[in-house]
Structure 1
Protein backbone atom coordinates (compact mmCIF):
# COMPACT_ATOMS: atom_id res chain seq x y z
CA UNK A 1 0.00 0.00 0.00
CA UNK A 2 2.76 2.38 0.93
CA UNK A 3 4.54 1.94 -2.38
CA UNK A 4 2.04 3.48 -4.75
CA UNK A 5 2.50 6.77 -2.93
CA UNK A 6 6.25 6.66 -3.42
CA UNK A 7 6.37 8.29 -6.81
CA UNK A 8 3.52 10.76 -6.83
CA UNK A 9 4.33 12.31 -3.45
CA UNK A 10 8.08 12.08 -3.56
CA UNK A 11 8.87 15.68 -4.43
CA UNK A 12 6.52 17.48 -2.08
CA UNK A 13 7.35 15.28 0.86
CA UNK A 14 11.06 15.07 0.70
CA UNK A 15 11.91 17.99 2.88
CA UNK A 16 9.55 16.64 5.56
CA UNK A 17 11.47 13.34 5.67
CA UNK A 18 13.46 14.26 8.74
CA UNK A 19 10.53 15.58 10.77
CA UNK A 20 8.28 12.62 9.87
CA UNK A 21 11.01 10.22 10.87
CA UNK A 22 11.51 12.20 14.09
CA UNK A 23 7.83 11.88 15.08
CA UNK A 24 7.80 8.17 14.19
CA UNK A 25 11.02 7.71 16.21
CA UNK A 26 9.68 9.36 19.38
CA UNK A 27 6.38 7.45 19.10
CA UNK A 28 8.19 4.16 18.73
CA UNK A 29 10.82 4.66 21.38
CA UNK A 30 8.26 5.54 24.05
CA UNK A 31 6.16 2.55 23.09
CA UNK A 32 9.12 0.14 22.99
CA UNK A 33 10.08 0.94 26.58
CA UNK A 34 6.48 0.37 27.64
CA UNK A 35 6.45 -2.99 25.81
CA UNK A 36 9.58 -4.39 27.40
CA UNK A 37 8.18 -3.60 30.84
CA UNK A 38 4.74 -4.92 29.88
CA UNK A 39 6.00 -8.06 28.13
CA UNK A 40 7.98 -8.94 31.22
CA UNK A 41 5.02 -8.18 33.48
CA UNK A 42 2.47 -10.29 31.56
CA UNK A 43 5.13 -12.98 30.91
CA UNK A 44 4.70 -13.07 27.13
CA UNK A 45 7.66 -13.83 24.84
CA UNK A 46 5.51 -12.88 21.84
CA UNK A 47 5.14 -9.36 23.24
CA UNK A 48 8.87 -9.36 24.05
CA UNK A 49 9.78 -10.38 20.50
CA UNK A 50 7.58 -7.63 19.15
CA UNK A 51 9.23 -5.27 21.62
CA UNK A 52 12.58 -6.27 20.10
CA UNK A 53 11.13 -5.68 16.65
CA UNK A 54 10.03 -2.23 17.79
CA UNK A 55 13.38 -1.54 19.43
CA UNK A 56 14.98 -2.29 16.08
CA UNK A 57 12.61 0.14 14.47
CA UNK A 58 13.24 2.81 17.10
CA UNK A 59 16.97 2.45 16.51
CA UNK A 60 16.57 2.46 12.76
CA UNK A 61 14.24 5.46 12.99
CA UNK A 62 16.71 7.30 15.21
CA UNK A 63 19.62 6.42 12.96
CA UNK A 64 17.55 7.17 9.85
CA UNK A 65 16.56 10.56 11.25
CA UNK A 66 20.19 11.39 12.03
CA UNK A 67 21.65 10.01 8.81
CA UNK A 68 18.84 11.45 6.69
CA UNK A 69 19.69 14.91 8.02
CA UNK A 70 23.37 14.22 7.38
CA UNK A 71 22.79 12.81 3.90
CA UNK A 72 21.06 16.04 2.85
CA UNK A 73 24.38 17.90 3.32
CA UNK A 74 26.10 18.70 0.05
CA UNK A 75 29.64 17.70 -0.81
CA UNK A 76 32.51 19.16 1.17
CA UNK A 77 36.26 18.63 1.49
CA UNK A 78 35.86 15.46 3.53
CA UNK A 79 33.19 13.83 1.37
CA UNK A 80 33.37 15.03 -2.22
CA UNK A 81 30.29 12.97 -3.13
CA UNK A 82 28.28 14.43 -0.25
CA UNK A 83 26.76 12.46 2.61
CA UNK A 84 24.30 10.19 0.79
CA UNK A 85 26.11 7.04 1.89
CA UNK A 86 25.53 7.77 5.58
CA UNK A 87 21.90 6.67 5.42
CA UNK A 88 23.20 3.33 4.15
CA UNK A 89 25.45 3.04 7.16
CA UNK A 90 22.33 3.51 9.30
CA UNK A 91 20.62 0.63 7.54
CA UNK A 92 23.63 -1.67 8.14
CA UNK A 93 24.08 -0.76 11.82
CA UNK A 94 20.39 -1.33 12.45
CA UNK A 95 20.40 -4.69 10.65
CA UNK A 96 23.25 -5.93 12.84
CA UNK A 97 21.42 -4.87 16.03
CA UNK A 98 18.26 -6.68 14.90
CA UNK A 99 20.24 -9.82 14.05
CA UNK A 100 21.71 -10.01 17.55
CA UNK A 101 18.34 -9.28 19.20
CA UNK A 102 16.58 -11.93 17.11
CA UNK A 103 18.96 -14.65 18.28
CA UNK A 104 18.47 -13.62 21.92
CA UNK A 105 14.67 -13.82 21.55
CA UNK A 106 14.85 -17.20 19.77
CA UNK A 107 17.03 -18.66 22.53
CA UNK A 108 14.33 -17.58 25.03
CA UNK A 109 11.26 -18.61 22.99
CA UNK A 110 12.23 -22.02 21.56
CA UNK A 111 12.62 -23.82 24.94
CA UNK A 112 9.24 -22.36 26.02
CA UNK A 113 7.43 -24.24 23.24
CA UNK A 114 8.07 -27.45 25.21
CA UNK A 115 7.81 -25.88 28.66
CA UNK A 116 5.18 -23.17 28.20
CA UNK A 117 4.56 -20.69 31.00
CA UNK A 118 1.20 -19.10 31.83
CA UNK A 119 0.57 -15.81 30.04
CA UNK A 120 -1.77 -12.92 30.85
CA UNK A 121 -4.00 -13.12 27.74
CA UNK A 122 -5.94 -9.90 28.45
CA UNK A 123 -2.65 -7.99 28.79
CA UNK A 124 -1.47 -9.49 25.52
CA UNK A 125 -4.65 -8.31 23.73
CA UNK A 126 -4.26 -4.81 25.22
CA UNK A 127 -0.67 -4.48 24.05
CA UNK A 128 -1.52 -5.80 20.60
CA UNK A 129 -4.25 -3.18 20.09
CA UNK A 130 -1.92 -0.43 21.30
CA UNK A 131 0.86 -1.77 19.05
CA UNK A 132 -1.36 -1.71 15.97
CA UNK A 133 -2.39 1.90 16.70
CA UNK A 134 1.12 3.24 17.41
CA UNK A 135 2.82 1.53 14.47
CA UNK A 136 -0.08 2.31 12.16
CA UNK A 137 0.29 6.00 13.05
CA UNK A 138 4.05 5.86 12.37
CA UNK A 139 3.52 4.16 8.97
CA UNK A 140 1.10 6.92 7.97
CA UNK A 141 3.66 9.58 8.93
CA UNK A 142 6.23 8.01 6.57
CA UNK A 143 3.93 7.42 3.60
CA UNK A 144 5.53 8.75 0.44
CA UNK A 145 9.13 8.92 1.69
CA UNK A 146 11.39 7.26 -0.81
CA UNK A 147 15.07 6.89 0.13
CA UNK A 148 16.21 3.30 0.77
CA UNK A 149 16.53 4.22 4.44
CA UNK A 150 12.96 5.49 4.65
CA UNK A 151 11.64 2.53 2.68
CA UNK A 152 13.42 0.13 5.05
CA UNK A 153 11.96 1.95 8.05
CA UNK A 154 8.46 1.98 6.58
CA UNK A 155 8.75 -1.73 5.85
CA UNK A 156 9.80 -2.36 9.47
CA UNK A 157 6.78 -0.48 10.76
CA UNK A 158 4.38 -2.27 8.44
CA UNK A 159 5.81 -5.58 9.65
CA UNK A 160 5.26 -4.41 13.21
CA UNK A 161 1.60 -3.85 12.47
CA UNK A 162 1.40 -7.41 11.09
CA UNK A 163 3.34 -8.72 14.09
CA UNK A 164 0.88 -7.08 16.47
CA UNK A 165 -2.08 -8.47 14.52
CA UNK A 166 -0.53 -11.92 15.08
CA UNK A 167 -0.13 -11.19 18.80
CA UNK A 168 -3.76 -10.00 18.95
CA UNK A 169 -4.98 -13.25 17.36
CA UNK A 170 -2.75 -15.24 19.75
CA UNK A 171 -4.06 -13.30 22.74
CA UNK A 172 -7.68 -13.93 21.75
CA UNK A 173 -6.98 -17.68 21.33
CA UNK A 174 -5.24 -17.79 24.72
CA UNK A 175 -8.12 -15.91 26.31
CA UNK A 176 -10.60 -18.62 25.31
CA UNK A 177 -8.36 -21.73 25.28
CA UNK A 178 -5.63 -22.78 27.65
CA UNK A 179 -2.91 -23.26 25.00
CA UNK A 180 0.11 -21.49 26.48
CA UNK A 181 2.45 -22.82 23.73
CA UNK A 182 0.76 -20.34 21.31
CA UNK A 183 2.81 -17.50 22.82
CA UNK A 184 6.34 -18.90 22.16
CA UNK A 185 5.23 -20.23 18.76
CA UNK A 186 4.10 -16.74 17.77
CA UNK A 187 7.35 -15.34 19.08
CA UNK A 188 9.42 -17.70 16.90
CA UNK A 189 7.27 -16.91 13.85
CA UNK A 190 7.61 -13.15 14.32
CA UNK A 191 11.36 -13.39 14.94
CA UNK A 192 11.99 -15.55 11.86
CA UNK A 193 10.06 -13.01 9.80
CA UNK A 194 12.25 -10.22 11.22
CA UNK A 195 15.40 -12.23 10.43
CA UNK A 196 14.33 -12.91 6.85
CA UNK A 197 13.88 -9.20 6.16
CA UNK A 198 17.02 -8.17 8.01
CA UNK A 199 19.12 -10.53 5.88
CA UNK A 200 17.45 -9.26 2.70
CA UNK A 201 18.08 -5.60 3.63
CA UNK A 202 21.62 -6.32 4.73
CA UNK A 203 22.43 -7.99 1.41
CA UNK A 204 20.99 -5.02 -0.48
CA UNK A 205 22.95 -2.50 1.62
CA UNK A 206 26.20 -4.45 1.36
CA UNK A 207 25.86 -4.73 -2.42
CA UNK A 208 25.57 -0.93 -2.58
CA UNK A 209 28.55 -0.47 -0.23
CA UNK A 210 30.59 -2.85 -2.40
CA UNK A 211 29.67 -0.72 -5.44
CA UNK A 212 27.58 -3.38 -7.15
CA UNK A 213 25.70 -2.43 -10.32
CA UNK A 214 22.17 -1.18 -9.47
CA UNK A 215 19.67 -4.03 -10.03
CA UNK A 216 17.49 -2.11 -12.53
CA UNK A 217 20.43 -1.34 -14.86
CA UNK A 218 21.64 -3.83 -17.46
CA UNK A 219 25.27 -3.13 -18.47
CA UNK A 220 24.86 -4.81 -21.88
CA UNK A 221 21.85 -2.65 -22.65
CA UNK A 222 23.79 0.50 -21.65
CA UNK A 223 26.63 -0.52 -23.96
CA UNK A 224 24.31 -1.25 -26.89
CA UNK A 225 22.51 2.07 -26.50
CA UNK A 226 25.74 4.08 -26.49
CA UNK A 227 27.29 2.12 -29.37
CA UNK A 228 24.16 2.83 -31.42
CA UNK A 229 25.20 6.51 -31.55
CA UNK A 230 26.62 7.13 -35.08
CA UNK A 231 29.93 8.70 -34.03
CA UNK A 232 30.82 6.28 -31.21
CA UNK A 233 33.15 3.52 -32.40
CA UNK A 234 33.69 1.65 -29.14
CA UNK A 235 33.47 2.09 -25.38
CA UNK A 236 35.50 0.77 -22.47
CA UNK A 237 36.12 1.32 -18.78
CA UNK A 238 32.35 1.47 -18.15
CA UNK A 239 31.37 1.55 -14.46
CA UNK A 240 27.95 2.03 -12.87
CA UNK A 241 27.30 2.10 -9.15
CA UNK A 242 24.89 3.72 -6.75
CA UNK A 243 25.55 6.05 -3.83
CA UNK A 244 22.60 5.09 -1.67
CA UNK A 245 20.20 2.98 -3.76
CA UNK A 246 18.53 5.98 -5.43
CA UNK A 247 21.38 8.20 -6.72
CA UNK A 248 23.27 6.38 -9.51
CA UNK A 249 26.67 7.20 -11.00
CA UNK A 250 28.19 6.17 -14.36
CA UNK A 251 31.67 6.70 -15.83
CA UNK A 252 32.94 5.56 -19.24
CA UNK A 253 35.49 6.14 -21.98
CA UNK A 254 34.19 6.32 -25.57
CA UNK A 255 36.32 6.16 -28.72
CA UNK A 256 34.89 8.51 -31.36
CA UNK A 257 35.61 9.30 -35.00
CA UNK A 258 38.71 11.45 -35.58
CA UNK A 259 38.48 15.14 -36.59
CA UNK A 260 35.04 15.72 -35.09
CA UNK A 261 34.44 19.40 -34.33
CA UNK A 262 34.17 20.36 -30.66
CA UNK A 263 30.43 21.01 -30.88
CA UNK A 264 29.91 17.48 -32.17
CA UNK A 265 31.88 15.95 -29.27
CA UNK A 266 29.79 17.97 -26.78
CA UNK A 267 26.66 16.75 -28.53
CA UNK A 268 27.77 13.13 -28.08
CA UNK A 269 28.28 13.71 -24.35
CA UNK A 270 24.86 15.33 -24.10
CA UNK A 271 23.22 12.41 -25.93
CA UNK A 272 24.86 9.93 -23.57
CA UNK A 273 23.70 11.95 -20.54
CA UNK A 274 20.10 12.09 -21.79
CA UNK A 275 20.16 8.39 -22.55
CA UNK A 276 21.37 7.61 -19.03
CA UNK A 277 18.81 9.96 -17.44
CA UNK A 278 16.15 7.67 -18.94
CA UNK A 279 17.74 4.80 -17.03
CA UNK A 280 17.72 6.83 -13.77
CA UNK A 281 21.48 7.52 -13.79
CA UNK A 282 21.88 11.00 -12.32
CA UNK A 283 25.66 11.50 -12.42
CA UNK A 284 27.43 10.77 -15.73
CA UNK A 285 31.13 11.31 -16.53
CA UNK A 286 32.18 10.67 -20.14
CA UNK A 287 35.76 10.74 -21.43
CA UNK A 288 36.10 10.89 -25.21
CA UNK A 289 39.13 9.51 -27.09
CA UNK A 290 40.14 9.20 -30.73
CA UNK A 291 41.48 5.97 -32.29
CA UNK A 292 45.19 5.46 -31.74
CA UNK A 293 45.13 7.65 -28.62
CA UNK A 294 42.92 5.34 -26.57
CA UNK A 295 44.14 5.45 -22.99
CA UNK A 296 47.03 3.21 -21.97
CA UNK A 297 45.73 3.06 -18.38
CA UNK A 298 45.64 -0.48 -17.03
CA UNK A 299 41.93 -0.14 -16.15
CA UNK A 300 41.17 0.85 -19.74
CA UNK A 301 42.65 -2.31 -21.15
CA UNK A 302 39.93 -4.24 -19.28
CA UNK A 303 36.70 -3.46 -21.14
Structure 2
Protein backbone atom coordinates (compact mmCIF):
# COMPACT_ATOMS: atom_id res chain seq x y z
CA UNK A 1 0.00 0.00 0.00
CA UNK A 2 2.87 2.37 0.87
CA UNK A 3 4.48 1.79 -2.54
CA UNK A 4 1.20 2.51 -4.33
CA UNK A 5 0.76 5.71 -2.29
CA UNK A 6 4.32 6.87 -3.15
CA UNK A 7 3.79 6.06 -6.82
CA UNK A 8 0.51 8.01 -6.84
CA UNK A 9 2.26 10.95 -5.15
CA UNK A 10 5.05 10.84 -7.77
CA UNK A 11 2.50 10.74 -10.57
CA UNK A 12 0.65 13.78 -9.17
CA UNK A 13 3.90 15.73 -8.72
CA UNK A 14 4.99 15.09 -12.31
CA UNK A 15 1.47 15.91 -13.55
CA UNK A 16 1.58 19.30 -11.77
CA UNK A 17 5.06 20.03 -13.13
CA UNK A 18 3.89 19.11 -16.66
CA UNK A 19 0.98 21.58 -16.65
CA UNK A 20 3.19 24.31 -15.18
CA UNK A 21 5.79 23.77 -17.88
CA UNK A 22 3.47 23.49 -20.89
CA UNK A 23 1.58 26.65 -19.84
CA UNK A 24 4.82 28.57 -19.44
CA UNK A 25 6.15 27.26 -22.78
CA UNK A 26 3.15 28.81 -24.55
CA UNK A 27 3.75 32.09 -22.71
CA UNK A 28 7.44 31.93 -23.72
CA UNK A 29 6.66 31.48 -27.42
CA UNK A 30 4.34 34.51 -27.33
CA UNK A 31 6.90 36.46 -25.29
CA UNK A 32 9.74 35.55 -27.63
CA UNK A 33 7.89 37.10 -30.56
CA UNK A 34 6.79 40.09 -28.49
CA UNK A 35 10.31 40.92 -27.25
CA UNK A 36 12.04 39.84 -30.51
CA UNK A 37 14.35 37.74 -28.32
CA UNK A 38 15.91 34.61 -29.78
CA UNK A 39 17.21 33.72 -26.32
CA UNK A 40 13.62 33.43 -25.05
CA UNK A 41 12.62 31.49 -28.19
CA UNK A 42 15.57 29.13 -27.64
CA UNK A 43 14.46 28.51 -24.08
CA UNK A 44 10.90 27.99 -25.34
CA UNK A 45 12.22 25.18 -27.55
CA UNK A 46 14.08 23.77 -24.54
CA UNK A 47 10.95 23.99 -22.39
CA UNK A 48 8.84 22.39 -25.14
CA UNK A 49 11.21 19.43 -25.01
CA UNK A 50 10.94 19.39 -21.22
CA UNK A 51 7.15 19.47 -21.52
CA UNK A 52 7.22 16.45 -23.81
CA UNK A 53 9.57 14.68 -21.39
CA UNK A 54 7.28 15.51 -18.48
CA UNK A 55 4.19 14.34 -20.33
CA UNK A 56 5.88 11.07 -21.20
CA UNK A 57 7.27 10.70 -17.67
CA UNK A 58 3.78 11.25 -16.29
CA UNK A 59 2.35 8.66 -18.68
CA UNK A 60 5.10 6.10 -18.09
CA UNK A 61 4.95 6.64 -14.32
CA UNK A 62 1.33 5.44 -14.52
CA UNK A 63 2.16 2.75 -17.08
CA UNK A 64 4.87 1.35 -14.82
CA UNK A 65 2.12 0.00 -12.54
CA UNK A 66 1.12 -2.51 -15.21
CA UNK A 67 2.51 -5.99 -14.80
CA UNK A 68 4.23 -7.97 -17.55
CA UNK A 69 1.77 -9.87 -19.71
CA UNK A 70 1.65 -12.22 -22.70
CA UNK A 71 2.01 -9.34 -25.11
CA UNK A 72 4.92 -7.62 -23.28
CA UNK A 73 6.65 -10.35 -21.27
CA UNK A 74 9.27 -7.95 -19.85
CA UNK A 75 6.70 -5.29 -18.97
CA UNK A 76 6.43 -1.73 -20.29
CA UNK A 77 9.78 -0.22 -19.31
CA UNK A 78 11.17 0.05 -22.84
CA UNK A 79 8.29 2.29 -23.95
CA UNK A 80 10.23 5.15 -22.36
CA UNK A 81 12.82 4.81 -25.14
CA UNK A 82 10.16 5.68 -27.70
CA UNK A 83 9.40 8.80 -25.70
CA UNK A 84 13.09 9.74 -25.54
CA UNK A 85 13.51 9.39 -29.31
CA UNK A 86 10.36 11.42 -30.13
CA UNK A 87 11.44 14.09 -27.67
CA UNK A 88 14.94 14.22 -29.17
CA UNK A 89 13.58 14.65 -32.70
CA UNK A 90 11.37 17.57 -31.60
CA UNK A 91 14.30 19.23 -29.82
CA UNK A 92 16.58 18.67 -32.82
CA UNK A 93 14.14 20.36 -35.23
CA UNK A 94 13.50 23.25 -32.82
CA UNK A 95 17.21 23.85 -32.15
CA UNK A 96 18.08 23.84 -35.85
CA UNK A 97 15.32 26.41 -36.40
CA UNK A 98 16.81 28.66 -33.69
CA UNK A 99 20.34 28.34 -35.11
CA UNK A 100 19.14 29.16 -38.65
CA UNK A 101 17.38 32.25 -37.28
CA UNK A 102 20.36 33.29 -35.15
CA UNK A 103 23.18 33.07 -37.72
CA UNK A 104 22.03 36.10 -39.81
CA UNK A 105 21.73 38.12 -36.58
CA UNK A 106 25.45 37.69 -35.87
CA UNK A 107 26.26 40.08 -38.74
CA UNK A 108 23.11 42.17 -38.36
CA UNK A 109 22.00 42.09 -34.70
CA UNK A 110 18.38 43.01 -34.08
CA UNK A 111 17.24 45.00 -31.06
CA UNK A 112 15.43 42.96 -28.43
CA UNK A 113 13.07 44.33 -25.80
CA UNK A 114 15.46 44.05 -22.84
CA UNK A 115 12.84 45.14 -20.30
CA UNK A 116 10.38 42.54 -21.57
CA UNK A 117 13.15 39.92 -21.47
CA UNK A 118 13.87 40.81 -17.85
CA UNK A 119 10.25 40.33 -16.76
CA UNK A 120 9.97 37.03 -18.64
CA UNK A 121 13.20 35.88 -17.01
CA UNK A 122 11.83 36.68 -13.55
CA UNK A 123 8.62 34.79 -14.38
CA UNK A 124 10.71 31.89 -15.70
CA UNK A 125 12.71 31.70 -12.46
CA UNK A 126 9.49 31.75 -10.39
CA UNK A 127 7.65 29.08 -12.44
CA UNK A 128 10.60 26.70 -12.78
CA UNK A 129 11.60 27.30 -9.15
CA UNK A 130 8.09 26.32 -8.05
CA UNK A 131 8.39 23.09 -10.03
CA UNK A 132 11.73 22.31 -8.36
CA UNK A 133 10.17 22.83 -4.91
CA UNK A 134 7.28 20.55 -5.90
CA UNK A 135 9.56 17.73 -7.04
CA UNK A 136 12.61 17.99 -4.76
CA UNK A 137 11.06 15.88 -1.98
CA UNK A 138 10.08 13.11 -4.38
CA UNK A 139 11.56 9.64 -3.96
CA UNK A 140 11.12 8.24 -7.48
CA UNK A 141 13.84 8.33 -10.14
CA UNK A 142 11.40 10.07 -12.49
CA UNK A 143 10.90 12.89 -10.00
CA UNK A 144 14.63 13.33 -9.38
CA UNK A 145 15.48 13.43 -13.10
CA UNK A 146 12.67 15.88 -13.88
CA UNK A 147 13.74 18.05 -10.92
CA UNK A 148 17.25 18.30 -12.40
CA UNK A 149 15.73 19.52 -15.69
CA UNK A 150 13.96 22.32 -13.87
CA UNK A 151 17.10 23.30 -11.96
CA UNK A 152 18.86 23.65 -15.34
CA UNK A 153 15.96 25.81 -16.55
CA UNK A 154 16.25 28.08 -13.52
CA UNK A 155 19.96 28.58 -14.24
CA UNK A 156 19.16 29.31 -17.91
CA UNK A 157 16.66 31.98 -16.91
CA UNK A 158 19.18 33.50 -14.51
CA UNK A 159 21.50 33.88 -17.54
CA UNK A 160 18.69 35.53 -19.54
CA UNK A 161 17.96 37.85 -16.61
CA UNK A 162 21.60 38.95 -16.37
CA UNK A 163 21.80 39.49 -20.14
CA UNK A 164 18.57 41.53 -20.17
CA UNK A 165 19.82 43.77 -17.36
CA UNK A 166 23.14 44.33 -19.17
CA UNK A 167 21.28 45.18 -22.41
CA UNK A 168 19.26 47.86 -20.60
CA UNK A 169 22.45 49.76 -19.75
CA UNK A 170 24.64 48.94 -22.77
CA UNK A 171 23.61 48.64 -26.42
CA UNK A 172 24.77 45.06 -27.09
CA UNK A 173 21.93 43.35 -29.04
CA UNK A 174 24.44 40.67 -30.09
CA UNK A 175 24.26 39.34 -26.51
CA UNK A 176 20.76 37.98 -27.14
CA UNK A 177 21.98 36.12 -30.25
CA UNK A 178 24.99 34.67 -28.45
CA UNK A 179 22.80 33.51 -25.57
CA UNK A 180 20.31 31.88 -27.97
CA UNK A 181 23.12 29.99 -29.74
CA UNK A 182 24.49 28.86 -26.37
CA UNK A 183 21.11 27.48 -25.28
CA UNK A 184 20.55 25.78 -28.66
CA UNK A 185 24.03 24.24 -28.48
CA UNK A 186 23.36 22.96 -24.98
CA UNK A 187 20.07 21.40 -26.13
CA UNK A 188 21.75 19.74 -29.15
CA UNK A 189 24.47 18.29 -26.91
CA UNK A 190 21.82 16.67 -24.70
CA UNK A 191 19.87 15.47 -27.77
CA UNK A 192 23.00 13.71 -29.04
CA UNK A 193 23.60 12.15 -25.62
CA UNK A 194 19.99 10.97 -25.25
CA UNK A 195 19.77 9.48 -28.76
CA UNK A 196 23.13 7.74 -28.28
CA UNK A 197 21.95 6.20 -24.98
CA UNK A 198 18.57 5.21 -26.43
CA UNK A 199 20.07 3.46 -29.46
CA UNK A 200 22.62 1.65 -27.29
CA UNK A 201 19.73 0.21 -25.27
CA UNK A 202 17.72 -0.68 -28.41
CA UNK A 203 20.78 -2.44 -29.88
CA UNK A 204 21.17 -4.34 -26.58
CA UNK A 205 24.57 -2.94 -25.71
CA UNK A 206 26.19 -3.84 -22.39
CA UNK A 207 25.10 -1.24 -19.78
CA UNK A 208 27.65 1.38 -18.78
CA UNK A 209 29.77 0.62 -15.70
CA UNK A 210 29.20 -3.14 -16.08
CA UNK A 211 32.13 -5.33 -17.15
CA UNK A 212 31.55 -8.87 -18.42
CA UNK A 213 35.13 -9.80 -17.52
CA UNK A 214 34.69 -8.56 -13.95
CA UNK A 215 31.42 -10.48 -13.55
CA UNK A 216 33.05 -13.66 -14.86
CA UNK A 217 35.98 -13.23 -12.48
CA UNK A 218 33.68 -12.63 -9.49
CA UNK A 219 31.59 -15.74 -10.22
CA UNK A 220 34.65 -18.01 -10.57
CA UNK A 221 36.35 -16.58 -7.46
CA UNK A 222 33.31 -16.48 -5.15
CA UNK A 223 31.13 -19.44 -6.13
CA UNK A 224 32.40 -22.90 -5.16
CA UNK A 225 32.28 -25.54 -7.87
CA UNK A 226 32.36 -23.15 -10.86
CA UNK A 227 35.01 -23.97 -13.44
CA UNK A 228 34.22 -21.39 -16.11
CA UNK A 229 31.60 -19.02 -17.53
CA UNK A 230 30.63 -18.61 -21.19
CA UNK A 231 27.81 -17.71 -23.60
CA UNK A 232 27.51 -14.51 -21.58
CA UNK A 233 24.92 -11.86 -22.60
CA UNK A 234 24.08 -8.66 -20.68
CA UNK A 235 21.69 -5.93 -21.76
CA UNK A 236 19.30 -3.44 -20.22
CA UNK A 237 15.56 -3.10 -20.63
CA UNK A 238 15.33 0.66 -20.10
CA UNK A 239 18.70 1.85 -18.76
CA UNK A 240 17.87 0.84 -15.18
CA UNK A 241 16.56 -2.73 -15.28
CA UNK A 242 19.50 -4.94 -16.31
CA UNK A 243 19.20 -8.51 -17.64
CA UNK A 244 21.74 -11.32 -18.10
CA UNK A 245 21.84 -14.86 -19.49
CA UNK A 246 24.88 -16.97 -18.58
CA UNK A 247 26.08 -20.55 -19.04
CA UNK A 248 27.92 -21.79 -15.94
CA UNK A 249 30.38 -24.69 -16.31
CA UNK A 250 30.66 -26.74 -13.11
CA UNK A 251 33.71 -28.74 -12.05
CA UNK A 252 31.80 -31.86 -11.03
CA UNK A 253 30.39 -34.09 -13.73
CA UNK A 254 27.30 -34.79 -11.66
CA UNK A 255 25.47 -32.46 -9.31
CA UNK A 256 22.19 -32.83 -7.46
CA UNK A 257 19.11 -30.71 -7.94
CA UNK A 258 19.65 -29.17 -4.50
CA UNK A 259 23.27 -28.29 -5.33
CA UNK A 260 22.16 -26.69 -8.60
CA UNK A 261 19.54 -24.66 -6.77
CA UNK A 262 22.08 -23.37 -4.22
CA UNK A 263 24.65 -22.46 -6.90
CA UNK A 264 22.04 -20.51 -8.88
CA UNK A 265 20.84 -18.76 -5.72
CA UNK A 266 24.36 -17.63 -4.77
CA UNK A 267 25.21 -16.45 -8.30
CA UNK A 268 22.00 -14.45 -8.63
CA UNK A 269 22.55 -12.85 -5.23
CA UNK A 270 26.13 -11.95 -6.17
CA UNK A 271 25.08 -10.38 -9.49
CA UNK A 272 22.23 -8.46 -7.89
CA UNK A 273 24.27 -7.07 -4.98
CA UNK A 274 27.49 -6.23 -6.86
CA UNK A 275 26.30 -5.42 -10.39
CA UNK A 276 22.59 -4.47 -10.06
CA UNK A 277 21.50 -7.24 -12.44
CA UNK A 278 17.77 -7.63 -11.79
CA UNK A 279 16.83 -10.52 -14.08
CA UNK A 280 19.35 -13.38 -14.44
CA UNK A 281 18.84 -16.63 -16.36
CA UNK A 282 21.44 -19.34 -15.66
CA UNK A 283 22.20 -22.57 -17.52
CA UNK A 284 24.33 -25.06 -15.59
CA UNK A 285 26.60 -27.46 -17.50
CA UNK A 286 29.17 -30.06 -16.54
CA UNK A 287 32.74 -29.61 -17.77
CA UNK A 288 32.34 -32.60 -20.09
CA UNK A 289 29.39 -31.24 -22.05
CA UNK A 290 30.06 -30.42 -25.70
CA UNK A 291 28.07 -27.19 -25.39
CA UNK A 292 30.76 -25.74 -23.16
CA UNK A 293 33.26 -25.51 -25.98
CA UNK A 294 31.41 -25.85 -29.30
CA UNK A 295 27.71 -25.22 -29.82
CA UNK A 296 27.25 -22.37 -27.35
CA UNK A 297 30.32 -20.24 -28.01
TM-score of the two chains, using structure 2 as the length reference: 0.91
Q: Distance in 2 between matches of 1:89 and 1:153?
A: 17
Match of 1:274 in 2: 269
117-126 vs 60-69, which deviates more?
Answer: 60-69
Q: Is the 8 A contact 1:247 1:281 kept in 2?
A: yes
How far the C-alpha of 1:151 sits from its partner, in A, is 5.4
Q: Distance in 1 between matches of 2:65 and 2:295?
A: 33
Where do residues 153-192 of structure 1 align in structure 2 (5 Å cutoff)? 153-192=146-185
Deviation, structure 1 residue 146: 4.7
Residues 41, 299 of structure 1: CA spacing in aligned structure 2 closer, same or farther, 3 A cutoff?
Answer: farther
- For the 8 Å contact 2:285–2:292, the answer to whether it is kept is no
Aligned to 2:245: 251
2:282 corresponds in structure 1 to 286
| Cα distance in 2, alignment partners of residues 166 and 218 from structure 1 | 41
Distance 1:43 1:88 in 2: 35
Deviation at 1:294, TM superposition (A): 4.3
CA deviation profile, 1:75-130 (whole Å, cap 9, x unmatched): 11110000011122211211111011100011111211221112111110000011
Query: Residue in 1 aligned with 2:51?
Result: 58
The answer for the alignment partner of 2:214 in structure 1 is 221
Gaps of 5+ in 1: 1-9
Q: What is aligned with 1:295? A: 291
Structure 2 residue corresponding to 1:87, chosen from 57, 70, 80:
80
1:28 aligns with 2:21: yes
Please show how residues 47-126 of structure 1 align to structure 2 within 5 Å.
Answer: 47-126=40-119
CA, structure 1 residues 297+131, in 2 after alignment: closer, same or farther (shift >3 Å)? farther
SS in 1 for 2:296: helix
The answer for the alignment partner of 2:260 in structure 1 is 265
Question: CA separation in 1, counterparts of 2:278 and 2:173?
Answer: 55
Distance in structure 1 (CA, Å) of the matches to 2:146 and 2:195: 13
How many Å apart are 1:155 and its aligned residue?
3.6
Gap runs ≥5 in structure 2: none
- d(CA) in 2 for partners of 1:82, 1:297: 34
Task: Note the C-alpha offset of 1:156.
Answer: 2.9
Q: How many matched pairs?
A: 291
Q: Relative to structure 1, is the Cα distance of residues 297 and 105 closer, same or farther in structure 2, using a 3 angstrom cutoff?
A: farther
TM-score by length of 1: 0.90
Structure 1 residue 269 displacement after superposition: 0.2
For residues 181 and 38 of structure 1, the distance between their equivalents in structure 2, rounded to whole angstroms, comes to 19
Whether 1:201 aligns to 2:194 is yes
**Distance of 1:299 and 1:32 partners within structure 2:** 57
Taking the aligned partners of 1:163 and 1:24, their CA distance within structure 2 comes to: 18
Question: 203-212 or 100-109: which moved more?
Answer: 203-212
How large is the RMSD of aligned CA atoms in angstroms? 2.1
The reply to whether residue 241 of structure 1 matches residue 235 of structure 2 is yes
Q: Aligned in 2, Cα 1:100/1:299: closer, same or farther, shift over 3 Å?
A: farther
Preserved contact between residue 71 and residue 87 of structure 1 (Cα < 8 Å)? no
In the superposition, relative to structure 1, how do residues 88 and 142 fare at CA in structure 2: closer, same or farther (>3 Å)?
Answer: farther
Q: C-alpha separation between the residues in 2 aligned to 1:80 and 1:261? A: 31
